[in-house]
A and B are shown apart, each in its own frame.
Chain A
């Protein structure tokens, strides 16, 4: 038998839970209407065409174009992620150890382009990288090259622009993680005789790994779905998955096939998140506690 006092607290707890549920309901409804239903419809459309069929998935499995695009998309995404990590880590590190005012300036420089439209940035890269673009002109005037370099309308141009657009998604989680690493640990390491390099590699770097994983996951997953950038800077040859989706709808009029490609991509992203969640709690990827 429980005492009246306990009963009251249980009652209180239940009421609180109900209130929480009521508060969350509008948001859940929005997700249901705008995410769950359309995605469900997408999945349905990929398997239903005058009856249940796996034809669309069989095609993805058996036709070369899908394999090639998936492979290219994963390669580009992986490359962009690695480069973003190589470039982003020092930036985040600098921002976290610099005096506060400098840290803010560094972060602002990273975040400012983030507020510019992806389309505008893609065209800006076109202006920089093309044959008569700023970079080729400069190199020519300096006498470093005779013939303009092919910097754009290929995979190279796609990777550069994608990297630029996604860099903030690497820097911000890294910075957030680094901010939380207690500086005393470094001092303790130093007091035990370790040099700056050793304290960095033995103490700071391992503690920053959750940020590395978080940033890398975000960048990789976002890169998988890139569309405008490869479309504008890829010269037509860099065919990523999202472009296959649009080609299927626009050129081939095959909504089922487009849906199936979307579902496969969604499942791939889900699998990546699941894998990452095995190593670190997902809430550290999606938002710092």
Chain B
């Protein structure tokens, strides 16, 4: 294809040095693993990556990027990807699989992945960890007895006056809007997109900020710029640890995951598969929440005894908390209807 040649040429130019390096025979005992950086990547390094590397006797080189999707596309298009395994929002794994950017997984080589529930894996990916888009609020503004506890409360500006923020992205936001409009958490999909946008129009005048980064959402709440926000649970609990007067509820939270997938023609394919299986091992998985407030994707992690009951109560994927929440359907979001819904977003923001 000519476009891919064009892309190859560009990469040859801008990443000349890197391309040369990757053209060297790959060391079978190492992989390059890419995650999202920050406290999250540090936590998984201690909990999962280092123990896995030790157990398998391999070297794990790390790279981090907040949004890996454009890089995955161009790396695979160049024909010589430098990354092996990526930890990305599950939707990217589904979309990447459809577009031929990822290796199809052989689950007979991935016993740990094969044992997980069907909803947690796809032919191209295995769920890695869970986080949740929750309703968080300032305790200075709302007392514990009179705190917002559902998306209907978030939308109720009379009963809960205050400034609000939502994510500048349709994913999870449309789900919240539908729950605010009375749709049950387990009856969300396929999303009624028109109804969701209509409900969003309702709250729009009361949204002070549409945030674009997780750090921003926490900052807004911490600075008192807003009183109520949809945010990722780990961001809010990090604030509470620093002593901020904020809280959140898992009620009607939207349970989301990142997954591991392997780039098409990855330089260290065989090692990458071994690593992927190891990364979702119940014990490694159970270690993750000891270092960060995200939940293991492998449900068996809760049976290992590593996670104490009081800790489990704080985690988004713990059975009790998961039951209160909606499980995001990445399959719907990567369907044509889902992509059409995404495309409406910028138009909605501009109006």
Among A34, A65, A235, A255, point to the contact of B350 (Cβ < 8 A): A65
Q: Is B208 an interface residue (CB 8 A)?
A: yes
Contact A49 B3 (CB under 8 A): yes
Proximity bits, B319-351, A CB within 8 Å = 1, else 0: 000000000000000000001001101110110
Contact B350 A131 (CB under 8 A): no
Contact B343 A235 (CB under 8 A): no
Cβ contacts under 8 Å, B7 to chain A: 41
Contact A38 B223 (CB under 8 A): no
Cβ contacts under 8 Å, A235 to chain B: 208-210
Contact A251 B70 (CB under 8 A): no
Cβ contacts under 8 Å, B349 to chain A: 236-237, 239
B interface majority secondary structure: helix
Contact A244 B67 (CB under 8 A): no
Q: Residue of A at shortest CB range from B342?
A: A251
Q: Is B2 an interface residue (CB 8 A)?
A: yes
| CB within 8 Å for A38 and B10 given contacts A131-B225, A235-B208, A250-B67 | yes
Q: Is A277 an interface residue (CB 8 A)?
A: no
Give the distance to chain A from B227, nearest Cβ to Cβ, in Å: 10
Q: Residue of B at shortest CB range from A63?
A: B347
Q: Residue of B at shortest CB range from A247?
A: B346
Contact B69 A253 (CB under 8 A): yes
Proximity bits, A248-279, B CB within 8 Å = 1, else 0: 01111101000000000000000000000000
Contact B3 A244 (CB under 8 A): no
Give the distance to chain A from B103, nearest Cβ to Cβ, in Å: 20
Of residues 124 through 161 on chain A, the ones whose CB sits less than 8 Å from some CB of chain B are 130-132, 150, 153
A69 to B9, CA, bound (A): 32
Proximity bits, A37-72, B CB within 8 Å = 1, else 0: 110010011001100000000000001110011000
Among A41, A63, A131, A231, point to the contact of B223 (Cβ < 8 A): A131
Contact A252 B342 (CB under 8 A): yes
Contact B224 A132 (CB under 8 A): yes
Among B9, B210, B342, B347, point to the contact of A64 (Cβ < 8 A): B347
Contact B350 A68 (CB under 8 A): yes
| CB within 8 Å for A153 and B209 given contacts A41-B9, A239-B349, A251-B342 | yes
Cβ contacts under 8 Å, B9 to chain A: 37, 41
Chain B interfacial positions (CB closer than 8 Å to A) = 2-3, 6-7, 9-10, 13-14, 67, 69-70, 73, 95, 163, 168-169, 208-212, 216, 223-225, 339, 342-343, 345-347, 349-350
Please name the 3 residue pairs, one residue from A and one from B, whose CB atoms are nearest each other, closest first.
Answer: A236-B210, A236-B168, A153-B209
